[in-house]
Structure 1
Amino acid sequence: MNKTYEYIIIGAGIAGCSTAYFLSKYSKSILLIDRNCDLAQGASGAAGAFLSPLLGKPNKFKDLVTKALKFSTEFYKEITPKEITNCGVVRIPKNNEDEEKFQSYKPYMDFEFTQEEKGYFFEIGSQVNSYNICKILAKDVEKRFKYEVKSYKKEDRFWLINDEIKANNLIITTGADISLIDEKYFNIRAVWGQKIDIESTTCISKNYHKACSLSHSVKLEDKDTYLTSIGATHNRIDCDLRVCNCCLSKKELSDIEHDTYTKELVKNNTKELLEKANDIRLIHEPKVVDIKIGPRASSIDYFPMVGKLVDSNKTLDKFPHLKNGSHIKDEMLSTIDNLYVLNGVGGRGYVLSPYLAKVLVDEIQKNNFLNVEITTHRLFKRWVKKLF
């Protein structure tokens, strides 16, 4: 007979692994599921895993990123100092217009910086080892790989997955693939990301960001060459993800042999990344040694999606006047019991996920309130307005 778990987390990227870590402080009955063969095989594996400040004038999204960057940087240093390299980042404007923006942002910088190499050096800039971070975060929870979740339903007080595994609580952290979320207001924009690792004779001592991100170099053992990461591309996937789920449903997306279109896209993106990196620093004798690809998930307003899902059918049955544009308080919206999400972290997954996972677990365990900017309630209310 299959085991019943207190928590099941679907999706073993940085969001799922971060959630597993914080939940493990409260429960030993946790199962982390992924359809891939290992952790961090999708967008989390394709991420450059850079921790860098968001520049701009004050706004709520920038405040969120700044708070998360401070939290996550200290968090990684505390739990796994060997997997974070805090070498700083040089942010270089792409053109004159970008330089003008940088100048206008100066009074609003959240972190100390100095002018350096035609750009601005931020000491807080870091990079983490994406796979090792996920492995460390999830080390204390049970894991099941190569397991495809095809269905889940409420049976008594449990969630029943594929008619075989039970959980008291279900947490969905599947990124761009939202096929398991049957709510039309829950919309994702998938952005194709690619990262390449190159071996070259060029040694780079810090991270850079211009039109792409270029990492510090690591010397290869028994060689006079260095390993450097370049990432990431930002190609929008224009497919209707609820109709065509082809790329997102691939179990091993980084296996680029599955179709000609993907191979051509990867080839073009590799060329693009090398050109953009050379615009930052001239890289001698580059040799591509690894390629990672994956679709990153962003919401329509860039804010993440955290917490319980609003049950649109129950809410509209209970408050039919919402169809006429009426407003009600968030706490009056019907939500689905014991079902949570952490999604929409976009290209800042390694900055946002640990912070948001802590916030989500605090909501589950301590009934803490979530900021309205990150709940699913905002998406539901916008969806209702457009419907009628």
Structure 2
Amino acid sequence: MKIYDFLIIGAGSAGCNIAHYLQKNGKKIAVIDKEGIAGGGSGAAGAFLSPLPGKENPYNSFVNSALMYSLKFYEEFAPQALNKRGVLRVANNNFESEKLQSNSIKSRYLNTKELQEISQNFTQIDGYFYENAAILNPNEICKKLIEKCDFYKEDVSELIFEDGFYIFENFKAKTVILAQGVIKPLVQTPYIEISPIFGVKIDVKTTTKVPFNIHKSISISTNKSDGTVAIGATKERHDTAKMECITSCDKCAFYVNSEQGQIETLLREADELIKLENLEVVKIYRGARATIKSYFPVIGKVVNFNESLKKYPSIKNGTKIPPNLLEYYPNLYIINALGSRGFVLAPYLAKILGENILNDTPMPKELSSEKLFYKTARKN
């Protein structure tokens, strides 16, 4: 039976990045996923690496710090998988012109005339251009991240911890990290309420040269290495609905029952930004991404909710019990809720979580599982 230092459950952007970080630091790593490497939401992601505009606040500061770290990481780690040509942000309902104009990130305003001088295929739009933006090949990057780890395409239905190890059929691991996205976690974490955000992406052939990524309510990529252009969007949020993903995206009613309409919407909205000539849809991707109401991701030790409240029932009344006194599942961590910015956040989060695990480096409170635990316990 093989023995690993860490088993990572989930081979999307989060799982592959934390696996790479720990392996690079001398740990023996196994990664397991029932759908394969980047087989879920990460493989279906547009993998756009873009800044978050607006006046500075804790969330966009976090996202933009992660972006700068991750761009540098990908440029050094897999330059062939990265296409860095910047992004044009066009005003929409979420980011009106005033918000884009007064944001804290360096940008350059391009009016309609200037854009049409760059490409006659641009329509009557204007926007703000950000140099530090790119697009990745998600499947290529995930495979490269774990090429020095052992990968198992299997389904894990339960966690069994005995004599200091998590025991599985063919191997055992000292520590497990849950990076399962929208899939129901293997232990009870009622303080982490995951809501799936459904996305659709298409790759299209076109004779049009798209000079840089474009983002409005949808995202259009510059021409990738194979010449295709990606068009993608988050199509529906279920922030208030308690939904559980129990099947693959190819069988999900959300996609199967409305696929053609979603594709037509993507193409229509793309046509309102730039004319893609001789267009042919060559591939369709579907995926659900995990998010929580705060929008911040969550990383850290997995708190045993029931046992912690049983030990300290006064937490419900607001008593401040230090995190180190809480009850935790043994040797169990989580990295989840990266939302639609998985490839922006994952390398940065892997560094934070990895340093916490290996060196006991404190992590930012807004990312910690403990913060969500206290909030839920007191609300209950």
TM-score, normalising length: structure 1: 0.89
Distance change >3 Å, CA 315–CA 28, structure 1 → 2? closer
Report if aligned partners of 2:197, 2:289 keep a CA contact under 8 Å in 1.
Answer: yes
Residue 157 of structure 1 is matched in structure 2 by 164
Displacement, 1:326? 2.4
- Size of the alignment, in residue pairs? 365
Displacement, 1:324? 2.1
The Cα offsets for residues 245-290 of structure 1, whole Å up to 9 and x where unpaired, read as 33xx32xx3xx3x466632322221111111111111112321101
* Structure 1 unpaired stretches of 5+: 221-225
Distance change >3 Å, CA 61–CA 95, structure 1 → 2? closer
Residue 347 of structure 1 is matched in structure 2 by 340
Matches within 5 A, 1:291-302: 291-302=284-295
Displacement, 1:373? 0.5
Distance change >3 Å, CA 328–CA 96, structure 1 → 2? closer
Residue 196 of structure 2 is matched in structure 1 by 190
Report if aligned partners of 1:15, 1:173 keep a CA contact under 8 Å in 2.
Answer: yes
Residue 19 of structure 1 is matched in structure 2 by 18
Matches within 5 A, 1:1-388: 2-36=1-35, 38-94=36-92, 98-105=96-103, 108-109=104-105, 112-116=106-110, 117=115, 118-145=126-153, 147-161=154-168, 165-218=171-224, 226-237=227-238, 240-241=242-243, 244-246=244-246, 249-250=247-248, 253=249, 256=250, 258=251, 262-387=255-380
Displacement, 1:219? 6.9
| Distance in structure 2 (CA, Å) of the matches to 1:17 and 1:95 | 34
| Distance in structure 2 (CA, Å) of the matches to 1:349 and 1:357 | 11
* Structure 2 unpaired stretches of 5+: 116-125
| Distance in structure 2 (CA, Å) of the matches to 1:235 and 1:66 | 24
The Cα offsets for residues 139-193 of structure 1, whole Å up to 9 and x where unpaired, read as 1101111x010111221211123x6532100011011113323121121111011
What is the SS of the residue equivalent to 2:184? coil
Code of the residue aligned with 1:245 in structure 2: it is C
Code of the residue aligned with 2:259 in structure 1: it is V
Residue 122 of structure 2 is matched in structure 1 by none
Displacement, 1:372? 0.5
What is the SS of the residue equivalent to 1:24? helix
Displacement, 1:28? 4.7
Code of the residue aligned with 1:25 in structure 2: it is K
Distance change >3 Å, CA 65–CA 95, structure 1 → 2? closer
Distance change >3 Å, CA 64–CA 259, structure 1 → 2? closer
Residue 121 of structure 2 is matched in structure 1 by none
Residue 223 of structure 1 is matched in structure 2 by none
- Per mean C-alpha deviation after superposition, the further-off stretch among 378-387 and 347-356 is 378-387
Displacement, 1:334? 2.5
Code of the residue aligned with 1:150 in structure 2: it is S
| Distance in structure 2 (CA, Å) of the matches to 1:30 and 1:239 | 35
Distance change >3 Å, CA 318–CA 16, structure 1 → 2? same
Report if aligned partners of 1:46, 1:294 keep a CA contact under 8 Å in 2.
Answer: yes
What is the SS of the residue equivalent to 1:82? helix
Distance change >3 Å, CA 318–CA 219, structure 1 → 2? closer
Distance change >3 Å, CA 266–CA 19, structure 1 → 2? same
Report if aligned partners of 2:13, 2:38 keep a CA contact under 8 Å in 1.
Answer: yes
| Distance in structure 2 (CA, Å) of the matches to 1:47 and 1:302 | 17
Distance change >3 Å, CA 219–CA 316, structure 1 → 2? closer
| Distance in structure 2 (CA, Å) of the matches to 1:368 and 1:101 | 36
Code of the residue aligned with 1:227 in structure 2: it is T
CA-based RMSD of the aligned residues comes to 1.9
| Distance in structure 2 (CA, Å) of the matches to 1:186 and 1:96 | 26
Code of the residue aligned with 1:190 in structure 2: it is P
- Per mean C-alpha deviation after superposition, the further-off stretch among 70-79 and 268-277 is 268-277
Code of the residue aligned with 2:14 in structure 1: it is A
What is the SS of the residue equivalent to 2:203? strand
What is the SS of the residue equivalent to 1:152? coil
What is the SS of the residue equivalent to 2:74? helix
Report if aligned partners of 2:196, 2:289 keep a CA contact under 8 Å in 1.
Answer: yes
TM-score, normalising length: structure 2: 0.91
Report if aligned partners of 1:6, 1:27 keep a CA contact under 8 Å in 2.
Answer: no
